[in-house]
Structure 1
Amino acid sequence: MRAAVVHEYGAPDVVRVVDFDTPVPGPKEVLVRVHATAVTAADSRIRGARFPRGFAPFARLAFGLRRPRRTVLGNTFSGVVEALGSRVTGIAVGDEVAGTTGLRMGTHAEYAVVPASRVVAKPAGVSHDDAAGVLFGGSTALFFLHNKATVGPGTRVLVNGASGAIGTSAVQLAKHAGATVTGVTSGANADLVRSLGADHVIDHTTTDLASVTERYDVVLDTVGTLSAASGRRLLADGGVLLLAAADLGELLRARGDVRVGTAPERVEDARELLDLVASGALRVVLDRVVPLDGVVAAHERVDSGRKVGNIVLNP
C-alpha cells in the first residue's frame, strides 16, 4: 500500500509518500481501506514537534524523543472494511465505517488497522469526506460544549476561532442546542460563519476582544489567543471559559469558571456527530480535498493558520 510517512520532525516537506506493507488486523481489529482522512492541527503539531507550551517533554515521550514513533500520522478515517480479525463480531467485510484511531494514528494511508471497538457505521447519506472531516473538530466542540459547559436555549455563546475545524462545528452545535451564538473570525470568513448559524460575528482583524462590552455565558477559545484573564473579562455572572488550546500552565491553574481538557474519542460521540451530519443539522466545512500525493501541501495549509474548516486526504 501507499502511505504518507514522517521519519523525522520538521517542516511539511519531511512527509514522504512511500510504499508500505499493508497491515494485518489482529484478533479484535479490522482492516479498513481508507477513502478519506483528515489532516489536522494535531498532525501538524506532531510532525513539527510544536507542542503547547509546557507539554513538549511529555509529548516527546509519547510520540518519540528524537523522531516520530508513529511514522504514519492521521487519526480520523472513513472507508470500507476489507478484512476482519478472528474475534470480531457485528462487522462485515464491505461495511462502510468511520472513526478515530487514538494515539496509534496510522490513517494517512491506503489501509489502516483499527480496533473493532472504535469503528462506527457510516450513515449512507454521509460522504466519506464529510465523515472523516467532522470527527476531529466535531468531537472537541461536542466535548467542551456538552461536557465542560451547559449550552441550551438562550445561552449566550462566544466561539473564538469560529472558522476552524473546531469552531465551525462549535457554532453549529451551540446553535442546534438553542444558543445565541457569536463567532470570532476574520472578515473574509464572516459570511461563512453566519451561514453556519452565528447570530453575530466579530472580525478579530478590526475589533480587539478586550474592547467588547457584551458578556457571555460560555466562551470557547479554539485557537489559544485568550488567557484565563482576558477570557474571564468576557464572561457574564456564572459564565464559564473553555480553553480548548490550553498550555500546561493554564491546565494546572484551571479551576472554577475556567475549564480545560482533552476530548475523549468516544464512539457514542462519533455516532452522534455522524447522525447530525446525516440529518442536515451539522454541515462539514471542507477547506480542500486532496489526494495522498497532496499531503505536503495539506500540511502547509494547516501550518499557514488560514485553514477554513477541515482538510481531507483521499488515499
Structure 2
Amino acid sequence: MKAFVLRSYGSSLQLTDIDRPVPGDGEVLVRVRATSVQPYDWHLMRGEPYVARLMAGGPGLRKPPFDIPGADVAGEVEEIGKGVTEFAPGDEVYAMPKQGGFAEYVCVPESELVRKPANLSFEEAAAVPMAANTALIALRDQARVQPGQQVLVNGASGGVGTFAVQLAKAFGARVTGVCGRRNVGMVRSIGANEVIDYTKEDFTRAGRHYDVLVDIAGSRPASACRRVMARKGTLVLVGGPAGRWLQPASHVFATLAVAPFMSQRVAVADVVRCTENKRNLTTLAELIEGGEVHPVIDRSYPFKEVPAAVGYQEAGHAAGKVVIAV
C-alpha cells in the first residue's frame, strides 16, 4: 500500500510503498477512504512543543513514536482478525486510531471502531472523530453543560470549535462564539446565539458572564477569563497558541497553577488519553444522524497532497476541518 511516512521530527512526509498491515486478534483492517488533519498531527511531525518529547520519554524522545501520522479515519472494513464479531467486510466505519490515517489501509481495534453515520460521506465522517470527541469531552464530561446555561466558545471557527458550538446548542445551552471577522457568519449559521469578532471586541471585557467557557484558542490568561465567568462556572482548557518549547502546554500549566485560587472550576479536555472513544463516537453518530450536529469542512485535498493539507491546517486559517480523500 501507499502511505505518507515520517522518518524523524521536522522531516517531510514521504509517500512510500510499504506492506499492507495484517489485522491481529481483535483488530479490523480498514480501507481508508478519507482522513483529516489537525494540530495533533503537525505537533507530532514537528516534535513541538519540545516539552512534550520529554513528557513522552521512551521512543518519542528522539524520534516520532510512530511512522504514519493521521489520527482520524473513515472507510470500509477490508478484513477482520480473529475474534472480531461486530464487523464484516464491506461495513462503512469511522474511528480515531491516533495514527496510521495517512495511508491506504490501517488496522484498528474492534473496541475503537464505530459504524459511520449513515447521512455522512466518507470525507465528512473523517472530519468528526478527534475534533468532535474533544468538544464532547469538554462540554459533556468536563463542563457538564445543562439546558439554559450560558456557554462561550473561544475559538469557535476551528475544527473543535465548530463542533463545540453545535454540541452546546444540542445540550440546550445559549452559545456565544468568539472568532475572527471572516468567520462570523459561519459561526452564527451553525447555531451560535451571539458571535464576538475578536478583532473588534475583547470578550473578557464585554461585561457578560458565562456558566461555561471553553477555551480552544488560549488567547487570554485565566485572570482575564475569570472576569466573565459566573462565580461557580467552569473553564475548560482545550488548546492554546503554538510554540516550539512549551506552548500550548505552558498556557494549560499556567492556568492550572492558579486554579486553586479561583472560585471557578478549571478542567482540561484531554482526548489523547480518552478511553471511551467507541462510546463517544457512537454518541456523536447518533447526534449527527439526528441532525443536531454536522461537520464543517473548509477544504478537501486528494491523497497525494497530504503535505499541502498539513501545511494549510498548520497556518491556522482553516474554518472547520481540513480533510483528505484517499
**TM-score, L = length of structure 1:** 0.93
Deviations 1:243-277, CA, capped at 9 Å, x for gaps: 11262524752455111141215211101112222
| Distance in 1 of aligned mates of 2:319 and 2:59 | 27
- Indicate conservation of the 8 Å contact 2:205/2:228, yes or no: no
| Distance in 2 of aligned mates of 1:305 and 1:68 | 23
Match of 2:158 among 164, 169, 182: 164
What SS does structure 2 have at the residue aligned with 1:205? coil
- Indicate conservation of the 8 Å contact 2:3/2:18, yes or no: yes
Deviations 1:217-243, CA, capped at 9 Å, x for gaps: 100001222322222112022111111
Match of 1:9 in 2: 9
- Indicate conservation of the 8 Å contact 1:172/1:197, yes or no: yes
- How far off its partner does 1:42 sit? 0.2
Query: Which contiguous aligned blocks of 4+ residues in structure 1 show a shift greater than 6 angstroms?
Result: none
- Indicate conservation of the 8 Å contact 1:131/1:274, yes or no: no
Match of 1:81 among 65, 74, 77: 77
| Letter in structure 2 aligned against 1:258 | V
Unpaired segments ≥5 residues, structure 2:
240-247
What SS does structure 1 have at the residue aligned with 2:65? coil
What SS does structure 2 have at the residue aligned with 1:233? helix
Match of 1:305 in 2: 316
| Letter in structure 1 aligned against 2:292 | A
- How far off its partner does 1:69 sit? 2.7
- Indicate conservation of the 8 Å contact 1:46/1:63, yes or no: no
| Distance in 2 of aligned mates of 1:128 and 1:170 | 21
| Distance in 1 of aligned mates of 2:4 and 2:61 | 20
Match of 1:257 in 2: 265
Deviations 1:83-125, CA, capped at 9 Å, x for gaps: 11122112111111111114xx111100001111111111322
Structure 1 residue 230 corresponds to structure 2 residue 232: no
Match of 2:135 among 127, 141, 146: 141
Match of 2:37 in 1: 39
| Distance in 1 of aligned mates of 2:131 and 2:43 | 15
**TM-score, L = length of structure 2:** 0.90
| Letter in structure 2 aligned against 1:2 | K
- Indicate conservation of the 8 Å contact 1:6/1:71, yes or no: yes
| Distance in 2 of aligned mates of 1:125 and 1:211 | 41
Match of 2:302 in 1: 291
Deviations 1:130-163, CA, capped at 9 Å, x for gaps: 2110111111111010111121221000000000
- Indicate conservation of the 8 Å contact 2:146/2:173, yes or no: yes
Match of 2:242 in 1: none
What SS does structure 2 have at the residue aligned with 1:91? coil
- Indicate conservation of the 8 Å contact 1:210/1:230, yes or no: yes
Unpaired segments ≥5 residues, structure 1:
none
Residues 40-119 of structure 1 aligned to structure 2 (within 5 Å): 40-51=38-49, 54-59=51-56, 61=57, 64-102=60-98, 105-119=99-113
The Cα RMSD (Å) is: 1.7
- How far off its partner does 1:194 sit? 0.1
- How far off its partner does 1:49 sit? 1.4
| Distance in 1 of aligned mates of 2:212 and 2:59 | 33
- How far off its partner does 1:48 sit? 1.2
- Indicate conservation of the 8 Å contact 1:17/1:292, yes or no: no
| Letter in structure 2 aligned against 1:278 | E
- Indicate conservation of the 8 Å contact 1:36/1:132, yes or no: yes
| Distance in 2 of aligned mates of 1:75 and 1:200 | 32
| Distance in 2 of aligned mates of 1:195 and 1:276 | 18
What SS does structure 2 have at the residue aligned with 1:55? helix
Match of 2:244 in 1: none
What SS does structure 2 have at the residue aligned with 1:313? strand
Deviations 1:169-212, CA, capped at 9 Å, x for gaps: 00011111111110000010000000010011111112123322
| Distance in 1 of aligned mates of 2:58 and 2:199 | 36
Match of 1:125 among 103, 119, 134: 119
Match of 2:146 in 1: 152
Q: Report sequence identity in percent.
A: 40
Instruction: Note closer, same or farther for the CA distance 1:224–1:54 as it changes in structure 2 (3 Å cut).
Output: farther
